Amino acid sequence: MDIGTIDQIIDNHQSEAGSLIQVLLEIQSQNNWLPKEALTRVSERLKVPMSRIRHITTFYKTFSLVPKGRHEVHVCMGTACHVRGAERVLDTVREVTGVGPGETDPELNFSVETVNCLGCCALGPVMVVDGEYHGNVETAETAEVLKKCTCSSE
Amino acid sequence: MSDIILQIDGKEVAAKPGMTVFEAAQSAGIAIPTLCHHEKLAPYGACRICTVEADAGGRTSFVAACLYPAEKGLVVRTRTEQVNRMRKVLLEQMLSHAPDSEDLLELAGEYGADPHRFEKEPSFCILCGLCVRYCAEVKQKHAVSFFDRGAKREINFIPEIAVKECWDCKECFPLCPTSALQAAYVLTESLLTPPEEPSSCGGCSSRG
Ligand code: SF4
Ligand code: FES
Ligand code: FES
């Protein structure tokens, strides 16, 4: 992500310190993660101390300070999904993507996270891939959804 | 502006508007223990050791004296059985994180807290925020900050700032009720000083 794009985002928010979280969210969504250079730039332009930016970016789970994969996979481990076989879903995800919760594969294809209830327990076990909900997922379906991702990105 | 009259431990106390219960008590010579309070810093309310019992508006509640504003007619009790018990448990919890803290051990003696009640989880920091707030509010250097959240919350130095500012300052060290701060600084420092380069390696060149 180049400095110009970051500056553009900051300009859209009139370089206001109060827009810090909005600015960070936009960088995160365009770039998938927050590189250090981006944070330094934001700190300079919004006049917010780096310590505060670090505090905020490590507090909210939305922000990532390490590179993230192109596809985000969230597997629900909430109680309802758990009893309906979330563990099996996670195993399949691990098998297909090669990474477990909190990890990203070296080709930056997938980042896997677990969540505790997505608020749609009736659909359990639930897996969300790039914002799309997949309810009642069976092993075969889980694998299929993920494989589709790798195909489309190549 | 006229003084606010409130009652602390049965004593009439006059306070200036804007004063907290802690400040009012202090001015009347009534001691309330504090850990995260510092007169130069904005009230923070992290440690809750200053909890007192207060009757206001017909209700009794437990409030943090360092945050709660002195109000007209407020009735405060600083050492009831329940207050003592709360402080005791708070101390026991904090001691599981910072078992060697002298400040905590001293208070523990006073409140009969058992330092070994909870399993030790030595993070050495009780997250009082004195260091973070002092650096930000008084020194305005923002060299040290909180990271992460919940059980993983911790303090850390921002290396780029620490390398420039901390060596000549270190004013936050004596504020820390445990020794966590110093340890964190020593660690940061050691990470910032690159290990001494061996003057000549010879490894590769000798192999041609
Ligand atoms: S390091 Fe010390 S001063 Fe800083 S938050 Fe922890 S206990 Fe408080
Ligand atoms: S437990 Fe998975 S959606 Fe509620
Ligand atoms: S001194 Fe009041 S909460 Fe810490």
d(CA B185, CA A1): 33
B70, with CB counted inside 10 A (0-12, 13-18, 19+), is buried
Question: How far is the centre of ligand 2, averaged over its atoms, from the C-alpha of A121 (Å)?
Answer: 4
**A42/A76 same-domain check:** no
**B58/B18 same-domain check:** yes
Instruction: Tell me which amino acid residue B4 is.
Output: I
What pLDDT does residue B121 have? 86
Proportion of chain A above pLDDT 70, given as a percent: 97
Cβ neighbours of residue A36 closer than 8 Å, sequence gap 6 or more: A65
Question: How far is the centre of ligand 2, averaged over its atoms, from the C-alpha of A103 (Å)?
Answer: 21
| Region B105-130 average pLDDT | 93
Tokens representing residue A95 in the block? 């098998």
What pLDDT does residue A152 have? 62
pLDDT band at B187 (very low <50, low <70, confident <90, very high): confident
- What is the CATH number for A144? 3.40.30.10
**B94/B69 same-domain check:** no
Residue A65 located in a structural domain: no
Helix (H) or strand (E) holding A133: strand A132-134
Residue ranges making up the domain that contains B173: 130-192
A69, with CB counted inside 10 A (0-12, 13-18, 19+), is buried
Residue ranges making up the domain that contains A124: 71-153
Tens digit of each residue's pLDDT (9 = 90 or more) over B48-62: 999 999 998 789 999
Say whether A52 and B161 touch across the interface (CB within 8 A): no
**A48/A76 same-domain check:** no
Shortest Cα distance, chain B CAs vs residue A109, angstroms: 26
**A44/A97 same-domain check:** no
Tens digit of each residue's pLDDT (9 = 90 or more) over B4-38: 999 999 999 999 999 999 999 999 999 999 999 99
Say whether A51 and B148 touch across the interface (CB within 8 A): no
Question: How far is the centre of ligand 1, averaged over its atoms, from the C-alpha of A119 (Å)?
Answer: 37
Look at B45-54, B74-83, B180-189 and tell me which has the smallest mean pLDDT: B180-189
Residue at which a domain ends, from A27, A59, A91: A59
Determine whether the shortest distance from the Cβ of B7 to ligand 3 is under 6 A.
no
Residue A37 located in a structural domain: yes
Residue B207 located in a structural domain: no
What pLDDT does residue A138 have? 83
**Contact status, residue B56 vs residue B62, Cβ threshold 8 Å:** no
Of B199 and A33, which is predicted with more confidence? A33
d(CA B68, CA B52): 10
Say whether A59 and B149 touch across the interface (CB within 8 A): yes
Could you give the number of structural domains in chain A?
2
**B145/B170 same-domain check:** yes
**B89/B73 same-domain check:** no
**A76/A52 same-domain check:** no
**B108/B163 same-domain check:** no
**A42/A22 same-domain check:** yes
Question: How far is the centre of ligand 1, averaged over its atoms, from the C-alpha of B41 (Å)?
Answer: 14
Say whether A55 and B147 touch across the interface (CB within 8 A): yes
| Region B124-135 average pLDDT | 94
**A134/A86 same-domain check:** yes
- Ligand-binding annotation for A149, yes or no, is no
- Ligand-binding annotation for A76, yes or no, is yes
Determine whether the shortest distance from the Cβ of B49 to ligand 3 is under 6 A.
yes
pLDDT along chain A (154 residues), means of 10: 91 91 94 93 95 94 89 93 93 92 90 92 91 88 83 58
- Ligand 2 atom at minimum distance from A115 CA: 2
Pocket of ligand 1 (CB under 6 A): B 125-131, 155, 175-178, 180-181
**A32/A104 same-domain check:** no
**A94/A137 same-domain check:** yes
Residue A130 located in a structural domain: yes
Mutate to test the pocket of ligand 2, among A117, A127, A128, A133 (most ligand atoms within 8 A of CB): A117
pLDDT band at B204 (very low <50, low <70, confident <90, very high): low
What pLDDT does residue B202 have? 47
| Region B171-196 average pLDDT | 79
Within 13 A of A128's CA, how many CA atoms are on the CB side?
18
**B75/B89 same-domain check:** no
Residue A66 located in a structural domain: no
d(CA B163, CA B178): 23
Residue B201 located in a structural domain: no
**A115/A92 same-domain check:** yes
User: If you measure CA to CA, which chain B residue comes closest to A61?
Assistant: B148
Could you give the number of structural domains in chain B?
3
* Prediction pTM value: 0.81
pLDDT band at B194 (very low <50, low <70, confident <90, very high): low
